[in-house]
Amino acid sequence: MTKQLNVTIWNEHRHEHKNPKVAEIYPNGIHGAIGEGLESEFHVRYATLDMPEHGLTEEVLNATDVLLWWGHMAHNEVEETIVERVYQRVLQGMGLIVLHSGHFSKIFKKLMGTGCDLKWREANDKERLWVVSPGHPIAEGIGEYIELEQEEMYGEHFDIPEPDELVFVSWFTGGEVFRSGCCYHRGMGKVFYFRPGHETYPTYYNEQVRRVIYNAVNWAKPSTRSYPAYGNAKPLEKLN
C-alpha cells in the first residue's frame, strides 16, 4: 500500500522540556511517540508551538490531510491568526484529531462553540474506554474496552455539543464517566476528540490507543468534493 494521507502532528512540546518525568517517558516528544505509531502507514510531519508560525504555515496546512493536536499549558500562546488558519482548513475539509488536554485549545473551542470545560483529577485513576458504537470505523480492531492502568481522570459534565457520533465512554476508578471518543462534522471537515494521553503516563505507546488514532486518521480524511458555492444564487428558474 502506498502512503496516501499526509498527517501533521502538532504538539505544544513544553512539558517535555520542563518536567523531567515527561522527558523520560517521551524522549522524542509526545508528537514523536504518536508519530511512531503512524509513520508506517502515513506521510507524517511534525509541528510545534515554538516553530515559526507554530510550524503551521499555509504551505504545511495546505499539504495536510489530517492534523493532530496536543496542547495543554500554553493554549494562550497559540496565535489567533494560526487558529483562524487551521479553522478555515477544517471547514474546507482537513481532518482534525484533538487529543486529551487539547479539549481546551483555542481551535477546539472555536469549532465546538462551547466552553469545553470538564472535571479532572491527577491521582492515577484506572481508565476503561468502552466501545458504545461497535460497528464504527474508529473502533476497528479494538476489543470491548481499552484499559489504561493509570491515567488522569476527566469527568462529566464535559461541555461539548452532543457528538454526531459517540464511539467511546470512559469509566474511572473514582466514580466518574466521560464521553471520550466524540465525532463531529464541521463544514467539509471531520473532527474527532479522543480523551487519553496525559503527559506523565506512557499512553501514546499503548497499541490500542495507537490503533484508535490510526483509525481516526482514516475516518477523518478529506473529501475530494469541491468547497460548496455560497452567496448570491442563480436567478429564479422556471421549473414547473
Q: Is 156 in the site for a copy of itself (CB under 8 A)?
A: yes
- In the numeric block, the cell 500500500 is attached to 1
Q: Is 232 in the site for a copy of itself (CB under 8 A)?
A: yes
46 or 154: CB nearest a copy of itself = 154
How many whole angstroms separate alpha carbon 96 and alpha carbon 225? 18
**Smallest distance from a copy of itself to CB 221, Å:** 9
Q: Is 161 in the site for a copy of itself (CB under 8 A)?
A: yes
Residues numbered 181 to 210 that lie near a copy of itself (CB under 8 A) are 184-190
Query: In this structure, what C-alpha cell is assigned to residue 233?
Result: 444564487
Residues numbered 95 to 134 that lie near a copy of itself (CB under 8 A) are 110-115, 117-121, 123-126, 128, 130-134
Residue from the set 46, 158, 192, 194 that interacts with a copy of itself by CB under 8 A: 158
Q: β-pairing, 177-186 with 189-194? A: antiparallel
What are the C-alpha distances in Å from 147 to residues 120, 169, 196, 229? Answer: 18, 12, 11, 45
Q: For 3-20, give one letter per residue: b (16+ CB within 10 A) or e.
A: eebbbbbbbbbbbbeeee
20 or 134: CB nearest a copy of itself = 134
Residue from the set 23, 51, 74, 91 that interacts with a copy of itself by CB under 8 A: 91
79 or 156: CB nearest a copy of itself = 156
- In the numeric block, the cell 497559540 is attached to 78
Residue type, 228: P
Question: Residues 65, 228, 56, 99: what is their CA dihedral angle, to the nearest 10 degrees?
Answer: -60
Q: Is 19 in the site for a copy of itself (CB under 8 A)?
A: no
Q: Is 229 in the site for a copy of itself (CB under 8 A)?
A: yes
How many whole angstroms separate alpha carbon 168 and alpha carbon 185? 17
Q: Is 231 in the site for a copy of itself (CB under 8 A)?
A: yes
**Smallest distance from a copy of itself to CB 51, Å:** 26
Residue from the set 58, 79, 159, 207 that interacts with a copy of itself by CB under 8 A: 159
Q: Is 169 in the site for a copy of itself (CB under 8 A)?
A: yes
Q: Is 76 in the site for a copy of itself (CB under 8 A)?
A: no
| Binding-site size, a copy of itself (CB under 8 A) | 77
Q: Is 50 in the site for a copy of itself (CB under 8 A)?
A: no
Q: β-pairing, 43-48 with 95-99? A: unpaired
Q: Which of 36, 191, 10 is nearest to 181 (CA)?
A: 191
Query: In this structure, what C-alpha cell is assigned to residue 124?
Result: 492515577
**Smallest distance from a copy of itself to CB 84, Å:** 12
How many whole angstroms separate alpha carbon 23 and alpha carbon 51? 19
Of the candidate spans 13-21, 43-51, 52-60, 139-147, the one that interacts with a copy of itself by CB under 8 A turns out to be 139-147
